[in-house]
Amino acid sequence: MADEHRDKRSRVSSSFVLNPMDEAMQRKCDALVKSLMKRSQGVHFSRPVEWKKFGLVDYPKLIKEPMDLGTVSENLQKPHYERLESFINDVRLVWKNAFIFNAPDSMYFKAAKTLSDVFEKRCEDLEKEAESVNAPDIGSMERCQLLLEDMRKNPFSEWFREPLDHVALQLHDYPQVISQPMDLGTVHKKMERSQYMSVEDFAHDVRLIWQNAITYNSAQSFIGVVAGILAAIFDRRFALITRSATADPGRPLPDRPGWPTFQQKKKFYDLCTRLTLADLNQMVSLVQRGCQAAVQQCGDKEVEVDVDELDMETFQNVLKWANSKTKSAQQPKSEAGAS
């Protein structure tokens, strides 16, 4: 019976094409790429890296699959992509290459992270639209299998597809820090053996991969940043499977590894209610400098800060600043009472 079940899943995953790239979606994807190239950070990624011209002799050694936004736009015209996810992964490859070749504190790494955040937010809209038009008529566990295959094909998942060989990498403290190792290859084997009793069991194991990476490396490290991106992608795609966002739109976003928790964000909201208008304007400026993707333009003179898009470093800096502002505002009252 188990073999028959696995065969059925195999036939489903191989014959079903999730989110095909039709002409309308192709135009929207092209518009998205062009909008990224027009942003100030987009100039660094709009054409192939001229590594010979700039003497970057290590570039071809480190970057095995070069990609740029201009090439993605050209591919969309051919057309080159059969699926929405294939297009998305080529764009992700642009950011991945920038992360590999540049240090986390460099201008190019930060520019790639900003564009990645903007891009993933737009991808959410495209995925929801594709889902509404082409919702698969298969079970939730079969959809989880398709999602798993997409996560394994995601360029960012390169470091999470097989068990970590901590001995070969000389990470001698890894077993002490990480009590339950997990990777996409192991999840795939468990899925093939029908070892998941529910979609939540599956999601638990996948989320454990990202959490382990962030716990061991820190959220600000190269691996931590990549794990945080993958965690957000997985949760977004998994929500489409469980339909939790549609069923309960008022429910807060689930906590993501390496990102502010719901309780931390609630504390931040409470602090913001005690800030003056001038303080709020100053806070927006701080957010813009640290995490441009979290600031949305609303009309000609108004902007909105999306706290769910704030990375942990920026969030902590802004939270610390807001705390100091509210404490300084209360200080004169305390001194007056003491006198």
Q: Is the pLDDT of residue 173 over 80?
A: yes
What pLDDT score does 72 carry? Answer: 96
Same fold, 17-134 and 136-259: yes
What pLDDT score does 212 carry? Answer: 96
What pLDDT score does 305 carry? Answer: 76
Percentage of the chain beyond pLDDT 90 is 55
Q: Is the pLDDT of residue 5 over 50?
A: no
* Annotated domain spans of the chain: 17-134, 136-259, 263-338
Considering Cα of 307, then 312, then 313, then 316, what sign does the dihedral take?
A: positive
Q: Once rounded to an integer, what is the mean pLDDT over residues 128-148?
A: 83
DSSP states of 106-148: SHHHHHHHHHHHHHHHHHHHHHHHHHHHS---S-HHHHHHHHH
What pLDDT score does 253 carry? Answer: 55
Q: How far, in Å, are 106, 128, 150 from residue 18 at the CA level?
A: 37, 12, 10
Residue type, 12: V
Question: Which segment of 23-32, 198-207, 286-295 scores lowest on mean pLDDT?
Answer: 286-295
**DSSP state for residue 58 in the 8-state scheme:** T
What pLDDT score does 246 carry? Answer: 40
What pLDDT score does 227 carry? Answer: 96
Listed residue (247, 215, 245) closest to 231, CA to CA:
215
Confidence of residue 121 (pLDDT cuts 50, 70, 90): very high
What pLDDT score does 301 carry? Answer: 54
Instruction: Count other C-beta atoms under 10 Å from residue 299's C-beta.
Output: 7
Listed residue (252, 276, 251, 268) closest to 312, CA to CA:
268
CA distance 297 to 299: 6
pLDDT: which is higher, 180 or 241: 180
CATH 1.10.3470.10 correct for 17-134:
no
Instruction: Count other C-beta atoms under 10 Å from residue 179's C-beta.
Output: 8
What pLDDT score does 11 carry? Answer: 40
Percentage of the chain beyond pLDDT 70 is 84
- pLDDT tens digits, 56-83: 999 999 999 999 999 999 999 988 898 9
Q: How far is CA 268 from the centre of its chain?
A: 22
The H or E element that residue 305 is part of is: strand 302-305
- Phi, psi (rounded to 5 degrees) for 154: -60, 130
What pTM was estimated for this model as a whole? Answer: 0.69
What pLDDT score does 2 carry? Answer: 39
Q: Once rounded to an integer, what is the mean pLDDT over residues 321-327?
A: 81
Identify the residue whose tokens are 């977004």: 236
Instruction: Count other C-beta atoms under 10 Å from residue 190's C-beta.
Output: 15
- pLDDT tens digits, 288-298: 888 877 776 55
Architecture of the structural domain at 136-259: Up-down Bundle (1.20)
Calculate the average pLDDT of the chain: 84
Query: Going by C-beta distance under 8 Å and a sequence separation of 6 or more, which residues neighbour residue 226?
Result: 96, 99, 156, 159, 213
DSSP states of 155-219: GGGGGGSS---TTTTT-TTHHHH-SS---HHHHHHHHHTT--SSHHHHHHHHHHHHHHHHHHH-T
Question: Helix (H, G, I), strand (E, B), or coil: what is residue 304?
Answer: strand
Q: How far, in Å, are 66, 124, 129 from residue 227 at the CA level?
A: 21, 18, 26
Confidence of residue 338 (pLDDT cuts 50, 70, 90): very low
pLDDT: which is higher, 140 or 245: 140
Residue type, 234: F
What pLDDT score does 335 carry? Answer: 41
- pLDDT tens digits, 91-101: 999 999 999 99
Confidence of residue 324 (pLDDT cuts 50, 70, 90): confident
Q: Is the pLDDT of residue 249 over 70?
A: no
* CB contact at 8 A, 66 and 48: yes
- Phi, psi (rounded to 5 degrees) for 282: -65, -35
* CB contact at 8 A, 322 and 286: no
Q: Is the pLDDT of residue 114 over 70?
A: yes
- pLDDT tens digits, 204-222: 999 999 999 999 999 999 9
